[in-house]
Structure 1
Amino acid sequence: MSKIEYLKRGFLLATLLGFLGCQPTNTDRVSQQLSEDTSSVNQTEDEVSLDWFTSSALEDTDIISSPEAKLFIEDVYQTLDREIFDPAFKKAEREQHLSELLAEAEAKPKWTRAELAARISEQLNRLAVSHVRLLDPTEGERLFRIFEQKPLPDAATPEPSVSAEMRGKIGILRVKSFIVPLITKAQLDQAKAQLAQAKVILIDVRGNEGGYGSSVSYAVEDIVGADKVLWWDRTREGLQMEEPYVFRGYFDDADNVEAEADIALGEEHPYVEWRTRLEAQQDPRPHFVLIDDRCGSACDLFAGVVKDHGSAGILGVRTMGALLGGDAFRLRWEGFALIAPTVQVISPKGLTIEGVGVPPDVEIPECANGGSQCLERAIQMIQAGAV
């Protein structure tokens, strides 16, 4: 299994790298690598991995000619056009942005590599689409070290992604990430066991910026119950398919079996309906989910599933609305990659969360912008029976 496959079909969002400062995702199909910058790269190897970023000798200060700038711009947008989940999605905007960039590159005889990358990133950001990002060697290395479990030498030990605490009769389950291996089912089960005496469960997903759909599957099944539709996802190859392949359950994440199986599922079935297991046991206790405007991607999905099934009260403020599945693809410059949205995700009620977000059932203004009183306010409302 290639190392980058940890990211395959991951609902990884633009701000997933909140602790990095950038964004995520997966494998690729290289088209052309004609630049002198990549002439030393083995062109038969198209894997995006940590090595792709760390082996790059390119510098931000390198001077790029106008013709080379145009070649790189075209490579970025051709890759996006080729890999995006729907060729028609924002096509006019993509073509306009490409035209503007090419005109700028024609007018300016020299660029630094950093200047050109920054200008392309500005245009990509204007699309307002999650999982679209240009990665340079530095950002790519920091991101892929997370997924390949090779932390930077000076990196601080991360806090646990799953934790539990009791506040009176309320059990609070904190889920900071849906990324494997930052979260596993064993960790989640252990945390839930600490809340066995709770009368009410509050699941706090504020600031959770994404991860795997399979992680959402096992986190949500005891809330919504057995054999419930969780979501549909569809790649470009599945656009014309009428009937999805039905998959119940989740993958074993103990040894990254989840990632490997998830890839195979996506490659064999471009249109998939995800359901909870037939043997899933629903927790009868009242549940609440606390969301905020930093909850995105797989976190968007978790909130959307719960809301569509009406199986828990949603508190806080509207989620980010950044729910597309993404992959990473090599570009012509060694150490550069494009994250492109390759999977469309639809909620159980057939709703598109991308660009919209999930609204709460009960608004808590204190939850906006990382408000420090959000959790306390939610607890007060639950204790008072106001929700």
Structure 2
Amino acid sequence: MRVFHELTRRTGIHGAPHPVRRTPYDKAALVAKHVAGIVTRSPFPGRYDALVVPHPRKPNGVEIYTDELRRTLGDNALILDSGINGTPLPGSKNLDFFTSAAGAIHPRTTDDRGIGSALEKLTGVRVPVGAILAREVPKHLRLRALYRALLKRHRIKTVYVVVAYFHQHIVGAARDLGIRVVELQHGAISPFHLGYSYPGRPAVADQPDELWCFGSYWTDVADLPAGMRTEVIGATFLPKPGPKDPNRVVFLSQGTVGAELIRTADAVAKQHPELEIVYRLHPSERPEDYTIPDGIHLSTSGSTLDLLATATYQVGVSTTALFEGMALGCRTAVADLPGHEYLDPAIAKGHAALMTRPAELTQAPLCDDPSSYYAPNNLSRLAAQQPQ
């Protein structure tokens, strides 16, 4: 994933997906939190049956993907929530000091066995694969050993993790000990997502045993690694659609294509002056990232889901929010920008339309099978039935 993001950034196809911006003060404060956390947030004391690793993003302070799971597991679960790129959940523990320290000392570069040269020959872009390997491999091995000790200390039976492909040291540690690993879906899955798509379903190291999905659509939209099973847990976090404003259009931004999408929003605003064009920033974006044209309302506060519940139209590229908007009764137009291929299966089903011209927005379809993307909530029953 790191090589892919670096490649797309250097080619200019995408911007940074989730940019992290820290001032010198922010960095100093983070170091202080790390040091204090060794004592105040250590996960080693106590005894637990399950480990839960939530998502760092928490709209309005709620981590929506594991919220119900944590309630179901109760005090039997150790909540390990990093504060490096977000605010940790109250009462959670972390190993942030060791996470940062594990990557602090490493060689500047290493032999990439010709991968960098082969990639450059294929794409015309030089990516520092050797430097990425030199940093990431020692960090992975150090953290993997640390998490093995943690899992053995508590005799953990099941690890529940969100975004497993960025926590492979935890998944690998569990695999080393024969501990079951369950990943909870957090976003869109497609044949183009390097975290989930392995054409031909080969055996892949350090992968979860199970992937718990929002709906049946996600269980076979991509070739998962060999042996990975799927379960449908439904949607635990979608609100009910509210009264629809017939003129409201919500553009769903992403850091990767935001600059191009704002131009599309401007073109739609000029084509349809009767419509209210709302440009909704991704949580990792900031208002100063963009110059907002006249006739477009910038939205940064409140819930994206609540906003979509009142919208008649939604426009985006590859964001998961497009699927959420389908379930909330929005007519869906996919902007013809890099990454729109993520929505190809939904477009083929007639649940969305590829918008190549602004005039095509008002012809966007409604999804007639939203439960295939977000089924009724089944998480509590599934979690309660299985060994922790």
TM-score > 0.5, shorter chain as reference: no
- Which structure's residues are more often helix, by fraction? 2
- Superposition TM-score tier, normalisation by shorter sequence: under 0.3
TM-score normalized with structure 2 length? 0.28
Q: Which structure has the higher relative contact order (CA within 8 Å, separation 6+)? A: 1
TM-score normalized with structure 1 length? 0.28
